[in-house]
Every structure is written in C-alpha cells, then in structure tokens.
Structure 1
Amino acid sequence: MHNTQNDFSKQLQNEVLQAIATGNTLTIRTGGSKDFYGRRVTASNILSIAEHQGIISYEPTELVIKARSGTPLKVIQQALAENKQMLAFEPPAYNEKTTLGGTLAGNFSGPRRAYNGAARDYVLGCTILNGKAELLSFGGQVMKNVAGYDVSRLMTGALGTLGVIMDASIKVAPMPEAEITFMQTISLDEASTKLHQWSRLPLPISASCFYQDKLYIRLSGTEKAIDKAGKTIGGNQLNNAQIFWQSITDQTHSFFQSEQALWRLSVASNTAVLFPQENTLYEWGGALRWLKSNAAPATIRSDSHLINGHCILFRSTGSHNEIFQPLPAPLLKLHLRLKHAFDPYGIFNIGRMYPDF
C-alpha cells in the first residue's frame, strides 16, 4: 500500500507538471459530496484524489490521527469510535462519499463548533501538493510541534485554491461520558435571553438549535455535570436525540428539504431578528442562522450588512455564481498574494471561491 500511494503521489505531481506545461487548469475532486458548495469553476481537467485513501497512523493515547485526504470520513469516525474517541468539530457527511480532504478544504464543522472549535482548530499538520508540483509538509503530529502550524490552518477552508491537501494530522477528543438533549417550547426572544444567560455559566452545552418555537440544548460530559446542568436548563428530555442532531449536522432535517436557496449567516449571537422566523433555523447560540430564501442575493447581502453579518449562499438550484461575500480590496490583494505564492501558475480550482483566483 505504501508504494502504491507513493506512485499515486508521483502521478498527481506529473499531472500538475503537465498542466503547467500546457497551460491547463485543474479541478481538485475527492468524493464529490460538496460539489454543490462554492462558485462554478471554469472549465478544467479533473484532478481526482479519490484513490488516495487510508489511515496512516493513529495513536489513541496521543489523541492524534493521520490520514490521507481521500479517506472516507466514516472510516475515520469508525476507527475513532472503536476507541471511544471522536472528531470534536462534528463534521457533516452529506453522503457516503464524504472525505477528510473535502471536509478540511471547506472547513466544515457541525453543531459542536461553537463550543469545541472549528475544523481548522484541530489540524496539527498536513502535506500538500502545491502549484509547482512540490510535496510540502507543514506542522506535526502533536500540538507542541508548531512549525508551519499556521500554513496547515490556512489550507483548511481554502477550497483547494492554494493546493491539494494530501494528508493531515488531526487532534481528536474522547467521547463524552454521557449526553442528554433537552427540548422546550419557547419564543425566540425567550430562547435568545436564556442562551445568553447560560453562556455566562459553566454549563456543559455542546449544541443548541432553535426552530419553530422549539429550543434544543445538548449537554455533554459526566453524568454528574449533566444532571446538575439539566436542572438549570429545564425542559423535556428528547428521545432519539442522536438522530435529531445528525439530521442537523448532515442537513437531512425537514428544514433543509427545500427548493429555496439556503444561506448561511454568521452574526453576533444577540443580533435582532431580520429575516422571517419560519424560514430560519438558529444554531451556535444564535450566532449561526440558516435562511431559506429566493430573494435576490444582493438583497440578502444588503440586509445582512445592516446587522453586521457575514453571509454565504451555501446551496442554490439557481444560476447564481456570487457565493461568498465580496472581499474588501486590501483583503482581496492579500488573498491574491497567497494564491500566487502557493499556485503561481494559476492551476488549482480557478474561480471556486472568487472570480479573481
């Protein structure tokens, strides 16, 4: 397997060299589960990473796993579960083909993100294939080895515009001793007030969701801590809580089953309501708001700007191609410099994030 993967790496390097020589561009693809996300890329050849699979090393006692980018997320999660460990950022798996590489390229995190951190917070190191066909390694396999750590984090969320993530070392976490979800019927104003009150208390909250006048709070930790926190939270214990949270994570919940465009809004958690409540699902204590709307993107962005928010057209069946919030000129200039440093010939995922790179 080791020789096979080395041969595959060389094959990818040769494809990049050929693209440089011919002036062609490459669209990086692993499982394809997130093809819906981002701008429509300009016509180019597919650079498939799907065969680059396998867990390279896993040290349960060190809480670190290293795997190749094409490794299915379910394979990694199964290996961790056997040792009662997990990916603390609770990444979504939109289908069976979701991979580690795609998850990191999009910096995808689930309900735990507001309480445990984002995907990039757990990347200890990675190996990338840059736009000059060079294999470069950054970071390490333990947190104390911070050499190049920022570059590893930079690759997380770049959507492949800077290079190919070949493998990554990820910090993992023990599964909580117990988890309970409480649900209560409550108004949005009351829910917001309570969420902010609870945020100032040492409660083991690991997820929150508000939709259709129902507030869901998940507690994770020791049974003693959960029992004590439950008396503060109140409400009824939710049956099949794991199924509920999986439906929020993977967006199989009925809210997401719509032909309307889905927007992802990041705002201050105490931001006033601006969009119709029946079309909005709240997570992360109110800081993440999913909005269903067929309004013109310019309208959504303008309304979001009024509340100092940041919005992304997460998924749409329309022909819209301005997915991400436009960058201010100085920040765009910095992005272009980074793009040139990692991909000087402009080969990878051209136009996936912004039309300029």
Structure 2
Amino acid sequence: MSTRPNDTPQTLIDQVRDATASGRPLRIAGGDTKAFYGEPVAGDTLSTRSWSGIVNHEPSELVVTVRAGTPLEALEAALADKGQCLPFEPPRFGAASTIGGVIAAGLSGPARATAGGVRDYVLGAQFINGRGEWLSFGGQVMKNVAGYDISRALAGSMGTLGVITDVSLKVLPVAPAEATLVFRLGQHDALEQLHRWGGQPLPINASCWVKDATAPDAPELLFLRLRGAVAAVEAASERLMQETGGVRMDNAQAGPDWAACRDQTLPFFTPSSAELCLWRLSLPQTAPVIDLPYAQLIEWQGAQRWLWAPASAAMAIRSAAAAANGHATLFRAGADGAPGVTRFDRERSVITTITQRLRAELDPAGIFNPGRMG
C-alpha cells in the first residue's frame, strides 16, 4: 500500500475552515470504534476515513509514515509482512479502527508496562489546526525535535488539539520467541510475585491477573507473557515454572487470548448487568490490592486495573485510586450513560493550565471535539 506524499487533505482543511467561520463544532472520527470513550460530543462529523494509505515504510530504519484514516489492521498486516510490529499493541475495539484513532485515544495493550505507550513511538505528525492550517511537527528519526514536541502531545489528546492527518511511528521487529505461563495465585500473591520479578532480568512482556466472576469456584489466575531471545525465554520459563509452580500454555491458544485481552473481548469484559460501568484504574505498579467489592482484571504488572461497578460507586472508586496515588476513569458507561458522573478524574491544576493554553493556541475557536475530555 502506498500513497503520493505530496497530496494535500484539502477536503478536511476546507471542512475545518468552514466550521471555524460558522462557529460550528466538529466531532472528529476515524472508524468511530472508540466513540464510547470520553464525554459525548455534539457537532458535525469530520471523518478521516478517506485519507488513508501508507506513505512510506523503511523496514531497515524501523520507521513507517501512515495516513490517519488507514485501518489499523491494514497497517499491522503490512508491518507483519516485514517481520515488524507496533510494540505498544493498540486495542482495536472493532475492525474499522484507524491509526489516527489509535494516536488520538492514546490507548495501549498488554505490553504497555514494558514496551512503552503510544507517545513513546510517535516520531512526527501532521495535523490541521483550528485555523485550517496544515502543520508538521517532528520527523522520522528519534532525535529531531527542537522546542515543543507537539506530535507526541497529540497522543491521548482525543482530537481536541487538531485533526491528525499523518503520523510517523517507530516500529520494532517481532520478538523471535514467546511463551505464556499460567500460575494459580490470589491477587495479593500475584502482585507480590510481579513486583519481585520486576526487579530481576527476566524477559517479561505482559501480565494479566483475573478471576471469572461468573463462576464462584473459578480459580484466580495470573498469566505471564515472556518475549525475547529464544534462550532467554526458555531459561526464564523453566525457572519460573519450577519456582512458582506454573504451567506453560500452547502459543496457538495463548495468542488469541492475549488479543482478546487487548481488544476487551475476554469474558470478563462482558458486564453481568447493563447498569454496570467499566472503570479503569491507573496506579503505580507497586500499589497493593485495592479493597473494593467488585470483580477486577489487572494488567501492566499491577499498573492498570479494570473493574465493573455502578456509576453510584464513582466517589468510592476514585477515592481508593487516589489513596494509592492513582486515578480512575469511567471507561465505558452503563446503559443509562452514567448521568452526572464525569468520565475522567480531575487533573492537577498545573496540567489543566498547560492543556488549556495549548488548546487555545491550536484551536482558538474551540471547534474540535468540545467537551470530549471534560
């Protein structure tokens, strides 16, 4: 897949200029697979789906430049053909997911704690600001930024800073070896083991602790994924199984399970009641067990914890997260939309000030996804 790098997204630019002139807000969308994430947005839809294609891929340089409307599946297939991947494992939430949505949402998959997040792999970006100007920041190498690194600020901005059109990403080779180990451990013991292993030279790539809440007698299980050189993965697997009594899964079974964890299609992510909300707790990896009476799934070696709870539990959940030096996000609202409950926890005042100034500079009329981030 290739495109002409000299093309201009004139249709998108014209739509932004028209919206600015009339003061109409724009709801920026790619595949619209993450419309549930963040506060609801009203306005005319600006779709980036037609602006798609891989502009340039240099396998030897580990860099790819791609247009925002490119389907994530298409990009990952092109990278896989060259033995490469996006190490942060962006979740899909649907086949229509686009790379622009990946950057704007800033969400990462199971490997986030060891491989890094979305913004760690953004080298440069082009986007349309609120004045209808097509701007370019960063480039296609790691050390190229003087001044503000706006391209990385776009990661997780939820479309509130501008319309992302193109992005250059660092990619990595697919690891030569992989193994998934399973241990029967309660939550406290699982976290203790993860903290202990984290201080050792082990090729740990991802972890997931879960208990099937629909089956009272189901075991509590810790899944651990190792990736790296063949010798390192094999040696670590044997050692951990001997020390902790785990078993090794077949990769043909483990692979789809990790993909389901990434895309939230595991049984855990199906609510037992339509009124329940999915909460995401972002905590230090060393945070202890959070004493809340709700089913949990724990990733990122303890740093990301999911739980199902009613919207009425917002204060208790956010207080528990704050006590552990973290914060809580209402990731998916229940059937009633959780009225009166904000999706995102309150930011620190200094972050709010910086964010407001940046938005005022890039989108002075406030037309891009107004209110999406609260």
Aligned to 2:290: 274
Query: Do the aligned partners of 2:203 and 2:228 also contact (CA within 8 Å) in 1?
Result: yes
Match for 2:364 among 344, 347, 353?
A: 344
5 Å-filtered alignment, 1:1-357, equals 6=7, 9-41=9-41, 43-147=42-146, 150-212=149-211, 213-234=220-241, 235-239=246-250, 240-258=253-271, 259=274, 260-276=276-292, 279-296=295-312, 297-317=314-334, 318-320=336-338, 322-354=342-374
Query: Do the aligned partners of 2:191 and 2:288 also contact (CA within 8 Å) in 1?
Result: no
Give the CA deviation at 1:278.
Answer: 5.8
The code of the aligned residue for 1:247 comes to A
The code of the aligned residue for 1:222 comes to A
Aligned to 2:216: none
Give the CA deviation at 1:280.
Answer: 0.4
The runs of 5 or more residues in structure 2 that have no matched partner are: 212-219
| Range with bigger deviation, 143-152 or 243-252 | 143-152
Distance in 2 separating the partners of 1:274 and 1:114? 19
- CA offset digits 1:100-133 (Å, max 9, x no partner): 0000001111011100100100000000100010
The code of the aligned residue for 1:199 comes to G
- CA offset digits 1:286-313 (Å, max 9, x no partner): 1110111114223322232222221111
Give the CA deviation at 1:145.
Answer: 2.1
Q: CA 1:165 to 1:185, structure 2 compared with 1: closer, same or farther past 3 Å?
A: same
Query: Do the aligned partners of 2:278 and 2:308 also contact (CA within 8 Å) in 1?
Result: yes
Query: Do the aligned partners of 2:162 and 2:362 also contact (CA within 8 Å) in 1?
Result: yes
Query: Do the aligned partners of 1:138 and 1:147 also contact (CA within 8 Å) in 2?
Result: no
Which secondary structure state, in structure 1, belongs to the residue aligned with residue 60 of structure 2?
Answer: coil
The code of the aligned residue for 2:248 comes to Q
The code of the aligned residue for 2:326 comes to G
Give the CA deviation at 1:16.
Answer: 1.3
Identity %: 42
Query: Do the aligned partners of 2:88 and 2:108 also contact (CA within 8 Å) in 1?
Result: yes
Q: CA 1:179 to 1:277, structure 2 compared with 1: closer, same or farther past 3 Å?
A: farther
The code of the aligned residue for 1:307 comes to A
Which secondary structure state, in structure 2, belongs to the residue aligned with residue 215 of structure 1?
Answer: strand
The code of the aligned residue for 1:335 comes to T
Distance in 1 separating the partners of 2:278 and 2:102? 19
The runs of 5 or more residues in structure 1 that have no matched partner are: none
Q: CA 1:149 to 1:125, structure 2 compared with 1: closer, same or farther past 3 Å?
A: farther
Give the CA deviation at 1:279.
Answer: 0.6
Give the CA deviation at 1:4.
Answer: 11
- CA offset digits 1:214-249 (Å, max 9, x no partner): 011101011100111112321111131101100100
- CA offset digits 1:126-158 (Å, max 9, x no partner): 001000100000001111323467211101110
Query: Do the aligned partners of 2:292 and 2:317 also contact (CA within 8 Å) in 1?
Result: no
Distance in 2 separating the partners of 1:3 and 1:83? 21
Give the CA deviation at 1:327.
Answer: 2.0
**If the length of structure 2 is used for normalisation, what is the TM-score?**
0.90
Query: Do the aligned partners of 1:125 and 1:149 also contact (CA within 8 Å) in 2?
Result: no
Which secondary structure state, in structure 2, belongs to the residue aligned with residue 114 of structure 1?
Answer: helix
Q: CA 1:125 to 1:206, structure 2 compared with 1: closer, same or farther past 3 Å?
A: same
The code of the aligned residue for 1:153 comes to R
Which secondary structure state, in structure 1, belongs to the residue aligned with residue 79 of structure 2?
Answer: helix
Which secondary structure state, in structure 2, belongs to the residue aligned with residue 56 of structure 1?
Answer: strand
Query: Do the aligned partners of 1:155 and 1:162 also contact (CA within 8 Å) in 2?
Result: yes
Distance in 2 separating the partners of 1:268 and 1:2? 42
Q: CA 1:295 to 1:351, structure 2 compared with 1: closer, same or farther past 3 Å?
A: closer
Q: CA 1:83 to 1:4, structure 2 compared with 1: closer, same or farther past 3 Å?
A: closer
Q: CA 1:163 to 1:87, structure 2 compared with 1: closer, same or farther past 3 Å?
A: same
Which secondary structure state, in structure 1, belongs to the residue aligned with residue 175 of structure 2?
Answer: coil
Which secondary structure state, in structure 2, belongs to the residue aligned with residue 6 of structure 1?
Answer: coil
Query: Do the aligned partners of 2:3 and 2:54 also contact (CA within 8 Å) in 1?
Result: no
* TM superposition outliers: structure 1 runs of 4+ over 6 Å: none
Query: Do the aligned partners of 1:191 and 1:215 also contact (CA within 8 Å) in 2?
Result: yes
Give the CA deviation at 1:272.
Answer: 2.4
